[in-house]
Amino acid sequence: MIMENISFHIFIYIILFGVIVLLIISFISLLNSEQNKRKKLLNEKRKMINQISELNKTKALIETEHLKFQLKPHTLINILSNLKVIAGKLNKGMDILSDTLDYILYQGNTHLVSVEDEINFIRKYLKLNNIFTTSIDAIKIDTSNIDMNSTFYRENCIPHLITGYFLENAFKHGDTEHPDFLNVRIILTDTFFEMIVTNRTKRQIMHSNNGGLGLVNMRKRLDLLLKDKYEMQSRQNGTAFHSTLKINFEQKTANTKT
């Protein structure tokens, strides 16, 4: 009887020992699993930190490209729709539109272009929109004060599409039915480039100090590429709205006005 009790107790101890061993093994396994999860999370965290670091490194390089003036897609779509209606001018309009899109999309990868290239863009963009103005000679461009012998005429010295904001703004807010709707004057010397845009409006434009997103982006881009080498002004005189952009090549006289 005594031996049976001893055997029974030994059996119980063995079972308890086995349970304890299983619990220890389970705990160690669970601990290892948690450690592996933590290591995996740490690796993912390091990977994300490295990715964020790489993004921060490239942010400054792509900022000016992000801020670059872009023609609104609906503007070009409306132009294409109008070209389909004007059958007699279709081929001419499509050719000009194709050249304009080529300049917008494929030139200016270094952010700066020559005055010659930007003037060609201005001429084509104005010709493209002139198709849809109701008055003959409502759009005029004066290039008589461009010195083609200037060292800056063919040198990459002004931001790509920097004139586009002024042109699109004129067509957006201007009175395209006015006989003297838009006048663009370009001046180039050995010391500066200047663009003066005067457009007629149907009503007084409410002009804030900060301007719209397009103006804000253009100023940021000018600051990044030219720093203190530009001047910008705009004013309303009755139904005439005047905008001026001047880029100095030698002197540093930054004076941005609204």
Helix (H, G, I), strand (E, B) or coil at 133: coil
Average pLDDT over residues 215-243: 89
Average pLDDT over residues 133-149: 86
- pLDDT by residue (tens digit) across 177-207? 888 899 999 999 999 999 999 999 887 655 5
Average pLDDT over residues 152-160: 93
Task: pLDDT band for 58, please (50, 70, 90 cuts).
Answer: low
Burial label, 220 (beta-carbon count in 10 A; 0-12, 13-18, 19+): middle
- Are residues 160 and 154 in contact, defined by beta-carbon separation less than 8 angstroms? no
What is the C-alpha separation between 86 and 69, in angstroms, rounded?
Answer: 28
Give the β-pairing of 230-237 and 240-248: antiparallel
Report the candidate in 79, 173, 162, 177 with the shortest Cα–Cα distance to residue 128. 79
Which CA distances in Å does 166 have to 11, 22, 70, 84?
95, 79, 12, 27
Which of 77 and 245 is assigned the larger pLDDT? 245
Task: pLDDT band for 213, please (50, 70, 90 cuts).
Answer: confident
What is the C-alpha separation between 139 and 100, in angstroms, rounded?
Answer: 18
Q: What sign results for the dihedral spanned by CA atoms 142, 145, 146, 152? A: negative
Q: What is the mean pLDDT of the chain?
A: 79
Which of 189 and 128 is assigned the larger pLDDT? 189
